[in-house]
Amino acid sequence: MKNLKFLPRILVTIIIFFAADFLIFNMFSLGISKYFGFNKKSDIICIGHSHTVLGIDAALLEQELNKTASKYALAGANAMDRYWMVKHYLEINPDVKIVLYDVDNRLFDSEGLSSASYSLFLPFIDNQMMKIYLKEQASYEEYLVSTFIKTARFRDQTLNISLRGLLNKNESKKLTQVNIDNYKTYLESERSKKVNIDDDSVDYLKKTIEYVLAKGKKIVLVNIPVIDILNEIDEENQIKAHMIFQEMALTKDVFFFDYENDYADKHEIFFDLRHLNEKGKQLLTLRLAKDLKNINE
């Protein structure tokens, strides 16, 4: 009976815990929703990974095109992730007209990417579309904990994104220029590797395109450039990947905007070997906006 006197305290503690968990999660959820533009109707959605984060300025795109644009991009998101990202966003905003999907010659190479990239989408586990994906990818324990403890859904990256959304700092700005000398050891290591083309990743891109077209939307594959030095590594497989994008763009309402040759040799617009700096982002976004004007809706 003595132990029972602690029962009310335990119950109150549990109630306070879950109430705080609910309130904090809703604040974080609001931030991530604002960051990705889930809270507004967009004509254009930019889907991708860090190349999109640092390579496309959604606000500038809106300004140039006089259309609403959102950016749903996460560092490390692979072709499978992006298939579900497209489905997720089009479920939230079925009025999207154009999907911009970032590609590069290493899109189908999963080496070096996290096998747990699905965990970036745990904040959306209540969404019926993403619930399907997370049930397939997450462990039983991870799925269960994330279902009942809402704040457990956030990782460092998604928490940072949420805070940026709450502070209305949706654009990441990298102002410095790449110093090639800092990457000599890395480049020596890279030159000994192959650029793999994973068939499953190719299939996921095909499925993504088919899904977008079935929804009556247009999809633009945007080749956001990496620095020219990386293009010299395993050129044969890089050319094969490039040809896959070109072949996919032969379908009606599928376009391929290839910016590799125009910008890859301009080292002053790169933050590092794979990402544009702020100067590069502005340059590429203005070019992208100009090219999008030629697509009839």
Task: Check: CB of residue 59 under 8 Å from CB of residue 289.
Answer: no
Task: Check: CB of residue 240 under 8 Å from CB of residue 204.
Answer: no
Q: Of 141, 104, 110, 125, which is closest to residue 225 (Cα–Cα)?
A: 104
Helix (H) or strand (E) holding 88: helix 79-92
Q: Which residue has the tokens 């996921």?
A: 204
Residue 254 tokens read as: 């599928």
Domains of the chain: which residue ranges? 2-292
Sign of the Cα pseudo-torsion (177, 183, 188, 192, in order): negative
Q: Of 42, 36, 53, 45, which is closest to residue 280 (Cα–Cα)?
A: 53
Task: Check: CB of residue 81 under 8 Å from CB of residue 27.
Answer: no
Topology (CATH) of 2-292? Rossmann fold (3.40.50)
Give the pLDDT confidence score for residue 94 in this predicted structure. Answer: 94
Q: Considering the entire predicted model, what is its pTM?
A: 0.92
Q: Of 54, 50, 36, which is closest to residue 285 (Cα–Cα)?
A: 54
Whole-angstrom CA distances from 183 to 51, 265, 273, 280 are 19, 16, 8, 20
- Cα angle 168, 169, 171; round to 5: 130
The pLDDT tens digits along the chain (297 residues) read 556 667 888 888 889 999 999 999 999 999 999 999 999 999 999 999 999 999 999 999 999 999 999 999 999 899 999 999 999 999 999 999 999 999 999 899 876 555 688 999 999 999 999 999 999 999 999 999 999 999 999 999 999 999 999 999 988 889 899 999 999 888 888 888 888 899 999 999 999 999 999 999 999 999 999 999 998 888 899 999 999 999 999 999 999 999 999 999 999 999 999 999 999 999 999 999 999 998 865
Give the pLDDT confidence score for residue 144 in this predicted structure. Answer: 95
What's at 143, amino acid-wise?
A: Y
Helix (H) or strand (E) holding 255: strand 254-258
